[in-house]
Every structure is written in C-alpha cells, then in structure tokens.
Amino acid sequence: MNHSIDVCLSPNLIDLYDLKGKIVVVVDILRATSVMTTALAHGAKEIIPVEHLDEAKGYLTKKGYLCAAERGGQQIEGFPLDNSPFSYMDESIVGASIVITTTNGTLAIKRSEEADEILIGSFLNLSSIADYIKMQNKDVLVHCAGWKGKTNMEDTLFAGALVEKLKLSHQLGCDTPHMALTYWEAVKADLSETIANSSHAKRLNGLNITEDISFCMRIDEYQVVPKMKGDKLV
C-alpha cells in the first residue's frame, strides 16, 4: 500500500491538510454533491460551482446558463433552480450549463482548489468514485462540507463508506478515517434511520423537504465520476 486516505471533517479544518498531489473528494450528502451527481447523471453538460451569491447572480443575465442558489436550505429568490436532486432529472437538464451556489458544498469545492484533482462524491455514486480512485496512483482526502464549519453525520458517514471501499488499497492517514470507518460500520445497516436524526435532516424536514433526504441516501444510483476541469465540473 503506497497511498493513503485521510478525512477532513470540515472546510474550517482544510488548511491543516496538504492538498498538493492529492485527489480530493468533496462531499455534501445533504444536498449539494448529491445534486451535482444527479445533474451530471441526467445529462447536464457542465456545472459551475461558485462560492458567492453575487457571483451566481452575475450569470442570471448571461445567455445559456441555468442558475441555482441555496442558502440555509432555501432557494434564493430570482434563481430558477433550487438545491433538490428532483429538480435535476428532467429534459431541461440535458446539455445544460448549470451555475450553482450553496451554503457549504460550493464553499468546500472552492477550498479544495489546491488539489491535483477534485471529485464530487455522494452515496449516489459511491462505488464509481471508489473504482476511479483505485485506478489512480494518488493519495486521497475526503473533504466533508459539514454545516457552517461544523461537522455533520452524513458527510462523515460517506467518508467512512469510502474508507471501507479503499482500506485494502490505501492506508488510513490520521485518526479521522478510522473514526469515520468505525461510525459507518456501526450504523450502515440503518443508514436512513441514522440520518433522520441528523441536524440537517431535521432542518430540511422543518422546510418540508423530506423526499430529498431518502433519495440522497440511495447507494450507487448513478455511475458518474464528476471532476473539476478548470472552473467547471464535468
């Protein structure tokens, strides 16, 4: 085993990690990276993740872009698309260039910029991400988007699930991959029930967003490996 896998539990901790030469898998299970995975699986041409709302607003008047914005779980007024995976499954998505800004997910992508390669992970494409990584000769860091700097259950569980798939090919870097793996192994049989107790699932439930949560827990629904190429995800 020449390569390692490590886990960063929050974008606020990312400066502790050296990203150079590494594959960074950004994960925001609820819901940004699940949405991006869904959109690309349904034929979107590209996704431009932007950190700031103003930047996203700049695309609203440009021709040829479908714009999405979310803060605090809610769609921002004036933007045609929200942050629900179900909004990215119809014909309008095929061939589309989508611009998206979200509370934590797009921020985590921006803070991963020094990586050799940035991948977008979710339960929806878990095995595809693992299989792709196994074919590369690189160290891996899972970058959990969390919630406003805090750690969350669902992103940590994804990290554990990916560690489980890579533990024979990658040595576990620090303590966090061990912690994430132990957590994943303990609850994976009751994933939906476990996530139902997470703070963000409760927050989304409070906004009457319920179906998204169970959809985002589906494992291997899609076979896409979204990668950043310049400022776009393809």
* Sites of contact with ligand 3SL (CB under 6 A): 28, 30-32, 70, 73, 83, 102-105, 145
Give the whole-angstrom CA distance, residue 151 versus residue 131: 26
Q: How far is the CB of 176 from ligand 3SL (least distance, A)?
A: 20
Nearer to ligand 3SL, 146 or 160 (CB): 146
Rounded to the nearest whole angstrom, what is the least distance from the CB of residue 57 to ligand 3SL in the complex? 17
Name the H helices within 141-221. Answer: 153-166, 175-187, 191-196, 199-206, 211-216
Which residue, 103 or 194, is less far from ligand 3SL as judged by CB?
103
Residue 105 CB, nearest approach to ligand 3SL (Å): 3
Residue nearer to ligand 3SL on the CB measure, 166 or 228: 228
- Taking CB atoms, the residue at the shortest distance from ligand 3SL is 102
* Cα 101 from Cα 110, distance rounded (Å): 11
Does residue 15 sit in helix, strand or coil?
helix
CB of 9 to ligand 3SL, least distance (A): 15
In angstroms, give the least distance from the CB of 213 to ligand 3SL: 9
Q: Which strands form 97-101's sheet, in the order they lie side by side?
A: 74-75, 65-71, 97-101, 46-49, 232-233, 228-229
Least CB distance to ligand 3SL at residue 145 (A) = 6
> Across the beta sheet with 140-144, what order do the strands follow?
117-121, 23-27, 140-144, 3-8, 170-172
146 touches 10 (CB < 8 A): yes
DSSP one-letter code for 232: E
Alpha-carbon span 5 to 3, nearest angstrom: 7
Nearer to ligand 3SL among residue 32 and residue 172 (C-beta) = 32
* DSSP 8-state symbol, 166: H
Identity of the residue, 55 or 116, whose beta carbon is nearer to ligand 3SL in the bound complex:
55
Choice between 28 and 221, CB closer to ligand 3SL = 28
